[in-house]
Amino acid sequence: MMKIGKYVLSDILRNNFILGYTFFLFLVSFAILNLEGETTKALLSMLNIVLLIIPLTSLVFATIHFYNSYEFIELMVSQPIKRSWILVSEYTGLAISLTVALLIGMGVPVFIYGQSAIAGHLLIGGTALTFVFTALAILCAVVSKDKAKGIGLSLLIWFFCTVIYGGLMLIILFSFSDYPVEKYMLIFTSLNPVDLVRVSILMQMDSAALMGYTGAIFKQFFNETTGMVFGLAVLSLWTILPLLLSIRIFNRKDL
């Protein structure tokens, strides 16, 4: 099934963008770990990079790459190979190469300076976000034939997940502050992959103790096995559903 996957992967791994991305992550992580004396603080700064930069690069790079390989995809469709395999190969090639960049760029400095459970969580969270947002990028690229529209759509998703969603949550929290909404907040937070990763990593840190009652509920939830399983399940759904939907659309698409 992965007949063309390995060729797509070896092509993308040699892409200058992936090399630049690796170098950028390496430089930033290295600098943060060097400047911050305390490893936990440094990891907190790195968390923000993971939550903002990784979704953005995954979305934009995957969308652009998909449009740029349109003629190649066209040629593959004319070969005796199922369309869904072509799409899955493109996806795995993109997701794996972005993950490799992350694990080298961020993993190596972390391994040298601050090995800890939280650092491990950070890398796992980053990998999960890469998989989720690459899947969403493929969906954007498949939905629209127009390159500008597709990239616009993927930027909108990034904006929604990182900025708008959090704002909406705050509005809800303030409007219903008289009611015990903690549990519902927990559910709503978990529905957004970016927030889910943020909360699940924050709750591993000591700072969770400063967050009062809500923090206590969150901390309890995310430190239990059920919380971990739940988090991973939500993230896999965020990967699998967009991917299935894109396969469905791609199978019926005129090229």
Partner 1 sequence: MITVNDIHKKYGSQPVLKGINLTLNEGQTVALMGPNGSGKTTFIKCILGMVKADKGHILFKDHKIEGDWEYRKDIGYMPQSAKFPERLKVRDVFSMLKDIRKDFNGTYDEDLIREFELESIFNKTVGTLSGGTRQKVSAAIAFLFNPSMLILDEPTTGLDPVSSEILKNKIIREHKKNKLIFITSHIISDIEEVSSHVMYLFDGQLQFLKDISTLKSETGEANLNKAIIHVMVDHQRKEKAL
Which parts of this chain interact with partner 1 (CB under 8 A)?
Answer: 3-4, 7-8, 10-11, 14-15, 69, 71-72, 74-75, 77-83, 252, 254-255
Distance CA 120, CA 30 (A): 16
CB of 153 to partner 1, least distance (A): 20
CB of 79 to partner 1, least distance (A): 5
| Comparison of 178 and 254: residue with beta carbon closer to partner 1 | 254
CB of 2 to partner 1, least distance (A): 10
CB of 32 to partner 1, least distance (A): 32
| Comparison of 230 and 250: residue with beta carbon closer to partner 1 | 250
Rounded (5°) CA angle 175-209-33:
110
Write out the chain in H/E/C secondary structure: CCCCHHHHHHHHHCCHHHHHHHHHHHHHHHHHHHHCCCHHHHHHHHHHHHHHHHHHHHHHHHHHHHHHCHHHHHHHHCCCCCHHHHHHHHHHHHHHHHHHHHHHHCHHHHHHHCCCHHHHHHHHHHHHHHHHHHHHHHHHHHHCCCHHHHHHHHHHHHHHHHHHHHHHHHHHHHHCCCCCCHHHHHHHHHHCHHHHHHHHHHCCCHHHHHHHHHHHHHHHHHHCHHHHHHHHHHHHHHHHHHHHHHHHHHHHCCC
CB of 159 to partner 1, least distance (A): 30
CB of 8 to partner 1, least distance (A): 7
| Comparison of 20 and 120: residue with beta carbon closer to partner 1 | 20
| Comparison of 97 and 127: residue with beta carbon closer to partner 1 | 97
| Comparison of 5 and 114: residue with beta carbon closer to partner 1 | 5
Distance CA 32, CA 176 (A): 38
CB of 6 to partner 1, least distance (A): 9
| Comparison of 53 and 81: residue with beta carbon closer to partner 1 | 81
| Comparison of 96 and 185: residue with beta carbon closer to partner 1 | 96
Beta-carbon contacts of 135 under 8 Å, excluding residues fewer than 6 positions away, are 91, 95, 238, 239, 240, 242, 243, 246
